[in-house]
């Protein structure tokens, strides 16, 4: 397949791995965070960490939209769905994310709530048009990649004067999350995590461009390489990061030139800016309250804002104390450092959000990594005996 197979060539991956090993052989360690869940998935799926020398450590970041939603927002969605007049439309992954006290959207649906799985915002819009007696609420989540389609749906609903369509808005902003990670005491003062550079998001950057990352490169002196989601993209980005670190540079470089420009998609940015404005604060799982890190509908579109139209009472809720999703999303822990990984918590019985989405670090590690590690361990044991 064009533009896919070329980027999955194992021989080329091996050649880049050799270059990385040669150029990283300077008696130091390199710690790189891949912000995006798509990269986490690619690293696990293609076993890229096995190709890297031991002195390069990949740290999984918080760029999985399902994973970063705090449990309180899941609770809020469940309470919306429990209102008899509401049909809640949501992506399939979200239905399985555990809420407080063993709840989930899936269980609420089984108990009678009108919750429907959709593949896009426009599906929800079609349901609203087809069923005018229902209040159709779309559970809108995601980073800058999924925000333009939601803005488009709001514009269409407005044009058609649809009175029974609204969104429960949970769209979040990538640069704010990166700043929050770099400002977190784990990075700044406690030394619990070291980050020498970032692999910047692929799809998000097609919308926002490479320009917004310049701030981190300059202010925090961290190199950023925007990369595609294919294995050769990731390997090339790691080589580019190693070279920046070796040269003492901290620049924004673009490996994903086939899709990302410096300014991004200006049309999509303007659509989003017309419909949404920044929230002053938003809670993220793992990162806590992050200022100006999420969007809400502008006053002109308030009638499409489910939070204003259907107030629900929620109480502060805490994550399962045994779940390490928060630490994993900050890059402080790895999935296997959670004692529930692969025992009580599996993709069939997720306890935290990181085990639900395919882009979640725990789910990716379970699907592609666990068996390799188990095999390596048992081979090692056999060799030793």
Q: Which residues bind ligand SF4 (CB under 6 A)?
A: 323-325, 328, 335, 338, 340-341, 345, 351-352, 354-355, 362
d(CA 318, CA 148): 31
* Helical segments of the chain, H only: 10-23, 37-45, 48-51, 65-68, 71-81, 92-95, 105-110, 121-130, 147-159, 174-183, 185-188, 203-208, 214-219, 231-247, 266-275, 306-309, 325-329, 361-364, 370-384
What is the Cα–Cα distance from 220 to 215, expressed in whole angstroms? Answer: 8
Helix (H, G, I), strand (E, B) or coil at 268: helix
In the complex, the smallest distance separating the C-beta of residue 362 from ligand SF4, rounded to whole angstroms, is 3
Give the angle subtended at the CA of 76 by the CAs of 65 and 329, to the nearest 5°.
Answer: 30
Position of minimal CB gap to ligand SF4:
352
Q: Which residue has the tokens 């939209």?
A: 65
The candidate with the shortest Cα–Cα distance to 264, out of 364, 129, 148, is 148
Residue closer to ligand SF4, measured from CB, 93 or 305: 93
Residue number with CB closer to ligand SF4 (268 or 345) = 345
**Nearer to ligand SF4 by C-beta: 162 or 345?**
345
Tell me whether residue 240 or residue 325 sits nearer to ligand SF4 (CB atom).
325
- Please tell me the distance from the alpha carbon of residue 221 to that of residue 131, in angstroms, as a whole number: 53
Written as six digits, the tokens of 365 are: 């590690």
Residue closer to ligand SF4 by CB (options 61, 209) is 61
Listed residue (31, 24, 28, 29) closest to 331, CA to CA: 31
- Shortest Cβ 90–ligand SF4 spacing (Å): 19
Q: How far is the CB of 363 from ligand SF4 (least distance, A)?
A: 8
| Beta carbon of residue 332, minimum distance to ligand SF4 (angstroms, whole number) | 11
For the bound state, the minimum distance from the C-beta of residue 59 to ligand SF4, rounded and expressed in Å, comes to 15
Shortest Cβ 351–ligand SF4 spacing (Å):
4
Q: How many CB atoms lie within 10 A of CB 346?
A: 16
In the bound state with ligand SF4, the residue whose beta carbon lies nearer, of 226 and 338, is: 338
């Amino acid at each position: 397949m064009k533009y896919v197979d070329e980027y999955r060539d194992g021989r080329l991956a091996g050649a880049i791995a050799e270059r990385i090993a040669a150029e990283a052989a300077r008696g130091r360690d390199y710690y790189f965070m891949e912000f995006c869940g798509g990269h986490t998935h690619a690293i696990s799926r293609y076993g890229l960490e096995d190709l890297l020398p031991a002195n390069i450590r990949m740290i999984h970041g918080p760029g999985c939209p399902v994973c970063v939603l705090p449990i309180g927002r899941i609770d809020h969605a469940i309470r919306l769905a429990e209102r008899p007049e509401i049909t809640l439309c949501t992506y399939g992954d979200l239905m399985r994310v555990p809420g407080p006290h063993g709840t989930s959207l899936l269980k609420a649906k089984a108990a009678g709530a009108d919750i429907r799985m959709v593949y896009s915002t426009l599906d929800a819009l079609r349901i609203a048009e087809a069923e005018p007696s229902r209040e159709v609420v779309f559970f809108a989540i995601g980073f800058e990649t999924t925000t333009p389609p939601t803005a488009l749906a709001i514009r269409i609903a407005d044009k058609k004067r649809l009175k029974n369509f609204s969104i429960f808005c949970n769209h979040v902003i990538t640069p704010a999350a990166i700043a929050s990670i770099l400002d977190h005491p784990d990075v700044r003062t406690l030394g619990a995590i070291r980050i020498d550079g970032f692999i910047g998001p692929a799809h998000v950057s097609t919308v926002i461009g490479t320009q917004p990352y310049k701030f981190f490169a300059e202010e925090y002196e961290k190199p950023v390489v925007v990369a595609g989601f294919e294995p050769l993209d990731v390997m090339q980005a790691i080589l580019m990061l190693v070279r920046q670190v070796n040269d003492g540079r901290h620049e924004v470089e673009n490996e994903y030139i086939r899709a990302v420009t410096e300014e991004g998609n200006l049309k999509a940015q303007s659509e989003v800016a017309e419909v949404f404005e920044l929230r002053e604060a938003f809670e993220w799982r793992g990162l806590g309250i992050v200022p100006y890190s999420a969007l809400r509908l502008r006053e002109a579109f308030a009638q499409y804002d489910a939070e204003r139209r259907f107030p629900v009472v929620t109480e502060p809720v805490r994550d399962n104390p045994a779940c390490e999703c928060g630490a994993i999303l900050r890059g402080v822990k790895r999935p296997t450092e959670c004692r529930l990984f692969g025992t009580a918590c599996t993709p069939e019985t997720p306890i935290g959000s990181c085990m639900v989405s395919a882009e979640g670090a725990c789910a990716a590690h379970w699907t592609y990594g666990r068996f390799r590690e188990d095999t390596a361990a048992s081979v090692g044991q056999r060799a030793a005996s």
